[in-house]
Structure 1
Amino acid sequence: MAGAANVQVALREVMDIRQAAEYLGISGDTLYRYASEGFVPAFKLGNRWRFRKSLLDAWMDEKSGVTPPSQHVDPAKKKPVSRAR
């Protein structure tokens, strides 16, 4: 049963520092330092760091050089942006 609880923790969209550190495979102290320095995508809720799984996944893809196919847009297919008034 403990294994099932860990899987649920890893699948949460918003994680605390302990859960996110476990998900990333680093220590909580290291993740706290990374969040404080702005190295990883994080936000504070009150005085506690929180991490969105989707943002961490995108950050890891970016840092590892992997670009998900759904995010690649052919520049020729982009719509023109209207100018602000």
Structure 2
Amino acid sequence: MAKDEVLKVKEVAELLGLSEATIYRLVNSGKIPGKKVGRMWRFSKKVIDNWFEKGHFENSP
């Protein structure tokens, strides 16, 4: 079974067409799924893709 790709804030921002500041705001408010590893946020590409496909992105500021 292949490992899920792990993304950094910059990569999620590029994937979604948003600024890094917006990604930080969304993850800090719990509107986008992510995990904090030390001082850095990390995101599962699979989870982000699923989150986006389910339309959660449209409801985010």
Aligned twin of 1:52: 44
Q: How many residues align?
A: 53
Cα RMSD between the aligned structures? 1.5
Aligned twin of 1:33: 25
Larger gyration radius, structure 1 or structure 2:
1
TM-score after normalising by structure 1? 0.58
> Hey, which of these two has a bigger chunk of strand by percent?
2
Residue by residue over 1:18-44, the C-alpha shift from the partner in whole angstroms, topping out at 9 and shown as x without a partner, is 111111110000000000001001010
Runs of 5+ unmatched residues, structure 2: 57-61
Distance 2:22 2:36 in 1: 17
Runs (4+) of structure 1 moved beyond 4 Å? none
TM-score after normalising by structure 2? 0.80
Runs of 5+ unmatched residues, structure 1: 1-11, 65-85
Sequence identity (%): 38
